[in-house]
A and B are shown apart, each in its own frame.
Chain A
Amino acid sequence: MDFPVFHLDFLGNRYLIAGIAILHVLINHGLAVGMMPLIAAMEWYGHKKQDPRWDKLAYKILFVCFLITTTVGALTGVGIWFSVSLVNPYSIASLIRVFFWAWFTEWLVFVTEVCLILAYTLTWKKWTAQGPESKKRHIRLGFALAFASWVTMAIIVAILGFMMDPGNWLTVNSFWTGVMNPLYIPQLAFRTPLAATMAGIIAMFLILFFTKKQDQFRNDALRAVGLWTLAFAPFVLVAGWWYYTSVPDAMKDNLGVSLGTLEFVDWQTKFLQIAVITVVTILLVVQFAISRPKLLPKVALVVPFVAILWMTGHFERVREFIRKPYVIGQYMYANGLRVEDYALLQRDGVLTYATYSNPLTEAEKAELPNGLSEPERTARLEAIQKGKDVFMNTCTRCHTGHGVNSITGHLQRMFGDQPWTPELTAGYIESMHYAQPYMPPFPGNKAELQLLGTYLQHLQQNKAPIPGAQSVGVIVSGAAAARSPEMTNQTEAAVQ
């Protein structure tokens, strides 16, 4: 990692990304990809039947989607970029170098999508008032928007697929090999009906707000959207099955570790169970909504929605299985180091090539063992500082000190209250990639293993939060810095 280390010691860095990404996927699938065709269909149906109630309802639902997608939806999309570039700058930077044009195209489609949703929403009333010709044009606009939303998703899934597809990256860096990867089509086939089903459930939920209980139209609307939902739900299961059976194919190259395989089988079984439960829940609730619309409470629709969330969350975890312990299959580990770097780093040490060091706060320096002489203290602090740098560079992308998935929590569980001496911990860390297939091998050399051990022992006593570069800055490591006089900026003196 050759950037200053951004670090959230309480929440954990991965949860920052995961939180933003999950919110984004939900909004994107439920309110854009799945909902736009449904709204356009409703508008079309209302126009065909010359029934303005459909039109009003469609507009109200669209308005809710508009408010949410253009605020939380759009910004969480950007937020994924922002958070990944803080947490894993080397991985996103590498991916951009290879997929620049794919992302650029994706962006153009996205710009189109934003313009279309603006146009679709903001011209609705005016064009409707202008008569049938304008209305037809407006409906076409709706379907164009629906198409653009789907294309955006299709491209993103291709990019994700390629990132997940191990091996290809190293040999054929082309976008099309990504599209050809064994998971692409099943994944797209899974997400499409999933989005449509989610949209159906959300729309039914909104219908309960936008129509009156006594109103016959509520029943009609629930029935129509219910049919939409029922039509797509089985495909979630079918495509889910397809996806599920294609995963091992994609994993073959990456996984030799039996433990990982066991965990994966566990995942698979659970995924299938959850998918069945979800789809059955959807079928039951929707059936009920269609047959007994008057008795339907709003919370009833929350249940299938939560089930979908559960399934989607579980579904997304598959990427971890396929990728681990890499962030880019076979090319870069999740700690940001390339596979190729290991020979050098394990020989010379990661600190030799680290540009930055992560300063210890006063609180982090507390709780040293009692009775140290002054020189011992200094030497100890120096070792802790170096150990911290090793930790920051090799473990913090996945572990915190004392927060979520904390290293101290793991060590406490493994070693309890006995002192976590380097002798105790170093042996484990050296072979940690066998113990936990999520983890890459330790990238440093033997001396660094001892330093890390010293630091971990310190963490047993010292519970101070570990700050990231965003609050305490960095120290530029001596050896890595350029000291040529011409590089010092002349204004330096003026400023200080």
Chain B
Amino acid sequence: MNAIPVPRDIPLPMPAPEPILIGVLVIFFLMHIVFVNFMVGGALLTFWYQLRGLKEKRFDDLAYEIASTITANKSIAVVLGVGPLLAINTIYTVYFYTANALTGAFWISIIPLVITAFVLTYVHKYLWHQMERMKWLHIGLAAVVSLLFLFIPLIFLTNINLMLFPEKWGTVQGFFSALMLPNVFARYAHFVLACPAMTGLFLVWLFRRKDDAEIAATGFERTELIRKGYQWAFWPTAAQFVIGPIALLTLPETQEPIHSVIAVFGVAILVSLGMAHLMFTETRRPAETIGKSFVPICVMMLVVVGLMGTGRHLYREAAVTPHRELVRAKTADYMRKVDEANRQAATAAEGSAEGVSQ
């Protein structure tokens, strides 16, 4: 079935010039996703260190430190999602709502799933010491939280992907068939790898600013902790050099050329190379100089994230632009017909009114 649906758009003007809306979307989306990374990465690292903590107590304490950061990060992640939600609803009305409806059961289940994940995160954190005697149950909680946090992004990615391909709307039957569309899993892997990497950098920031007493309480040297952060940042980032290009190459072909998309991602890869190099150097530095390149690394990460967001947006535009032209034409045509029908109805009403008066 190759029929491509061309629905009508909402016949109301945009509330602001498009570049402003796009700015809102891209910028706030990136802020959203960075905190999502901290949240998901934080949950995964907590789980990992808790497992290691079974053998060596101080890892359990480290896990607790990381778990404590999720509380704030997760709330910020969610609240920062609402701004881009507004913007994407406005700019890509037809595309986004259609994808939502076609995967509706899973889309709405995001709400109870996130609530569950958050409540369990609280239970896990605030009952940490009470659950000392039920260690496996406690670690089980961390595992469930991690699984939830790994599943929820898949729902988002499926939607964000499905919205780009109107030619698939007639063939999709529910969430799982939309999940199987090309590029979803490659993008998902790209996202999942970013979580420990961003969290690694977050931990470097955290352990650099904690005071000596707090560091001593963890049972690790500050240098060790910072090095661990960099290692979490570096290795997944190294893997991105494989996964990223796969995600790029599996992007479905668009009618519009995507040279600019490739150029943007190309520059991003170059900057990433420099950043990964610095990260690696940091992992090898001794106590006196470790952390020296933290600021340049963060700046480069910001640049990379910005480029990723830009490239992603350019691809989305390339994918939907031709279809959007069809939608515009369709909407204009429909509105013409509406006017015509209303005029006709008005004339008919006048006619009959005259008929009565005569």
Residues in A lying within 8 Å of B, measured CB to CB: 2-6, 16, 20, 67, 70-72, 74-76, 78-79, 81-83, 85-86, 89-90, 92-94, 96-101, 103-104, 107, 110-111, 114-115, 118, 122, 338, 340-341, 343-344, 347-348, 353, 355-356, 468-478, 480-483, 486-492, 495
- The docked-state distance in angstroms from the alpha carbon of A117 to that of B90 is 29
A-B CB contact pairs (8 Å), 10 listed: A3-B101, A74-B78, A75-B118, A89-B97, A97-B90, A100-B21, A103-B86, A111-B83, A470-B103, A489-B165
- The docked-state distance in angstroms from the alpha carbon of A90 to that of B12 is 11
- The docked-state distance in angstroms from the alpha carbon of A481 to that of B166 is 11
State which of B169-177, B194-202, B261-269 sits at the interface with chain A: B169-177
Cβ–Cβ < 8 Å partners of A471 in chain B: 105, 173-174
Q: Are B108 and A488 in contact (CB under 8 A)?
A: no
Cβ–Cβ < 8 Å partners of B165 in chain A: 489
Cβ–Cβ < 8 Å partners of B167 in chain A: 487-489, 492
State which of B134-142, B309-317, B335-343 sits at the interface with chain A: B335-343
- The docked-state distance in angstroms from the alpha carbon of A2 to that of B334 is 12
Cβ–Cβ < 8 Å partners of B341 in chain A: 343-344, 347-348
Q: Are B86 and A480 in contact (CB under 8 A)?
A: no
- The docked-state distance in angstroms from the alpha carbon of A343 to that of B342 is 6
Contact with A along B75-117 (1 / 0, CB 8 A): 1101111110110011001100110111111111011001100
Cβ–Cβ < 8 Å partners of A475 in chain B: 1, 170
Interface members, chain B 1-55 (any A CB < 8 Å):
1-8, 10-16, 21, 24
- 8 tightest CB-CB pairs across the interface, nearest first? A470-B104, A100-B15, A481-B3, A344-B341, A476-B170, A473-B173, A89-B97, A79-B111
Instruction: Evaluate whether A20 and B12 lie within 8 angstroms (CB atoms) in the complex, with A89-B101, A111-B79 already known.
Output: no
A97 CB to nearest B CB, Å: 4
A67 CB to nearest B CB, Å: 6
**B332 at interface by CB-CB < 8 Å:** no
Residues in B lying within 8 Å of A, measured CB to CB: 1-8, 10-16, 21, 24, 71-72, 75-76, 78-83, 85-86, 89-90, 93-94, 97-98, 100-108, 110-111, 114-115, 118-119, 122, 165, 167, 169-175, 177, 181-182, 252-253, 255, 322-323, 326, 334, 337-338, 340-342, 344-345
Q: Are A5 and B101 in contact (CB under 8 A)?
A: yes
Instruction: Evaluate whether A74 and B8 lie within 8 angstroms (CB atoms) in the complex, with A118-B72, A482-B326 already known.
Output: no
Q: Are B86 and A100 in contact (CB under 8 A)?
A: yes
Q: Are B102 and A4 in contact (CB under 8 A)?
A: yes
- The docked-state distance in angstroms from the alpha carbon of A96 to that of B82 is 13
Q: Are B83 and A469 in contact (CB under 8 A)?
A: no
9 more A-B residue pairs beyond the given contacts A71-B119, A74-B78, A347-B345, with a C-beta to C-beta distance below 8 A = A4-B98, A75-B111, A83-B108, A85-B97, A89-B93, A343-B338, A347-B341, A470-B174, A472-B173
- The docked-state distance in angstroms from the alpha carbon of A461 to that of B102 is 28
Q: Are A483 and B4 in contact (CB under 8 A)?
A: yes
- The docked-state distance in angstroms from the alpha carbon of A451 to that of B165 is 32
Residue of B with least CB distance to A488? B2
Q: Are B115 and A70 in contact (CB under 8 A)?
A: no
Instruction: Evaluate whether A4 and B253 lie within 8 angstroms (CB atoms) in the complex, with A78-B111, A111-B79 already known.
Output: no
Residue of B with least CB distance to A99? B15
Q: Are A473 and B2 in contact (CB under 8 A)?
A: no
Contact partner, B101, options A4, A20, A70, Cβ 8 Å: A4
Instruction: Evaluate whether A355 and B8 lie within 8 angstroms (CB atoms) in the complex, with A86-B107, A103-B86 already known.
Output: yes
Q: Counting chain B CB atoms within 10 Å of each CB, which of A94, A344, A468, A475 scores highest?
A: A344
- The docked-state distance in angstroms from the alpha carbon of A101 to that of B86 is 10
B67 CB to nearest A CB, Å: 14
Q: Are B255 and A97 in contact (CB under 8 A)?
A: no
Q: Are B122 and A67 in contact (CB under 8 A)?
A: yes
Q: Are B79 and A114 in contact (CB under 8 A)?
A: yes
- The docked-state distance in angstroms from the alpha carbon of A72 to that of B122 is 12
Cβ–Cβ < 8 Å partners of A99 in chain B: 15
The dominant DSSP class at the B interface is: helix
Q: Are A344 and B75 in contact (CB under 8 A)?
A: no
- The docked-state distance in angstroms from the alpha carbon of A377 to that of B29 is 52
Residue of B with least CB distance to A16? B108
Instruction: Evaluate whether A104 and B172 lie within 8 angstroms (CB atoms) in the complex, with A86-B107, A90-B10 already known.
Output: no
- The docked-state distance in angstroms from the alpha carbon of A428 to that of B85 is 41
Contact partner, A487, options B1, B21, B323, Cβ 8 Å: B323
Q: Are A343 and B345 in contact (CB under 8 A)?
A: yes
Cβ–Cβ < 8 Å partners of A486 in chain B: 255, 322
- The docked-state distance in angstroms from the alpha carbon of A86 to that of B3 is 23
B292 CB to nearest A CB, Å: 30
- The docked-state distance in angstroms from the alpha carbon of A143 to that of B322 is 52
B345 CB to nearest A CB, Å: 4
B187 CB to nearest A CB, Å: 15
Residue of B with least CB distance to A111? B79
A64 CB to nearest B CB, Å: 11
Q: Are A476 and B255 in contact (CB under 8 A)?
A: no
Q: Are B2 and A495 in contact (CB under 8 A)?
A: no
Cβ–Cβ < 8 Å partners of A94 in chain B: 10, 12
Residue of A with least CB distance to B11? A338
Residue of B with least CB distance to A4? B101
Cβ–Cβ < 8 Å partners of A490 in chain B: 253
Cβ–Cβ < 8 Å partners of B94 in chain A: 3
Cβ–Cβ < 8 Å partners of B76 in chain A: 114-115, 118
- The docked-state distance in angstroms from the alpha carbon of A35 to that of B16 is 37
A286 CB to nearest B CB, Å: 31
Q: Are A468 and B172 in contact (CB under 8 A)?
A: no
Residue of A with least CB distance to B323? A487
- The docked-state distance in angstroms from the alpha carbon of A489 to that of B338 is 32
Cβ–Cβ < 8 Å partners of A90 in chain B: 10
- The docked-state distance in angstroms from the alpha carbon of A474 to that of B3 is 11
Q: Are A118 and B75 in contact (CB under 8 A)?
A: yes
Residue of A with least CB distance to B331? A2
Q: Counting chain A CB atoms within 10 Å of each CB, which of B97, B101, B122, B255 scores highest?
A: B101
Q: Are A470 and B102 in contact (CB under 8 A)?
A: yes
Cβ–Cβ < 8 Å partners of B322 in chain A: 486-487
Cβ–Cβ < 8 Å partners of B98 in chain A: 3-4
Q: Are A476 and B169 in contact (CB under 8 A)?
A: yes
Q: Are A100 and B122 in contact (CB under 8 A)?
A: no
- The docked-state distance in angstroms from the alpha carbon of A343 to that of B340 is 9
Instruction: Evaluate whether A111 and B5 lie within 8 angstroms (CB atoms) in the complex, with A97-B14, A98-B15 already known.
Output: no
Q: Are A70 and B118 in contact (CB under 8 A)?
A: yes
B251 CB to nearest A CB, Å: 9
Instruction: Evaluate whether A107 and B82 lie within 8 angstroms (CB atoms) in the complex, with A74-B75, A85-B89 already known.
Output: yes
Cβ–Cβ < 8 Å partners of B323 in chain A: 487
- The docked-state distance in angstroms from the alpha carbon of A425 to that of B5 is 33
Q: Are A107 and B338 in contact (CB under 8 A)?
A: no
A24 CB to nearest B CB, Å: 11
Instruction: Evaluate whether A344 and B118 lie within 8 angstroms (CB atoms) in the complex, with A82-B111, A97-B12, A476-B4 already known.
Output: no
Q: Are B15 and A101 in contact (CB under 8 A)?
A: yes
Instruction: Evaluate whether A344 and B337 lie within 8 angstroms (CB atoms) in the complex, with A104-B83, A487-B255, A495-B182 already known.
Output: yes
A111 CB to nearest B CB, Å: 5
Q: Are A96 and B100 in contact (CB under 8 A)?
A: no
A27 CB to nearest B CB, Å: 11
B209 CB to nearest A CB, Å: 15
A87 CB to nearest B CB, Å: 9
Instruction: Evaluate whether A97 and B10 lie within 8 angstroms (CB atoms) in the complex, with A344-B342, A472-B173, A476-B5 already known.
Output: yes
B176 CB to nearest A CB, Å: 11
Cβ–Cβ < 8 Å partners of B5 in chain A: 355-356, 474, 476-477, 480-481
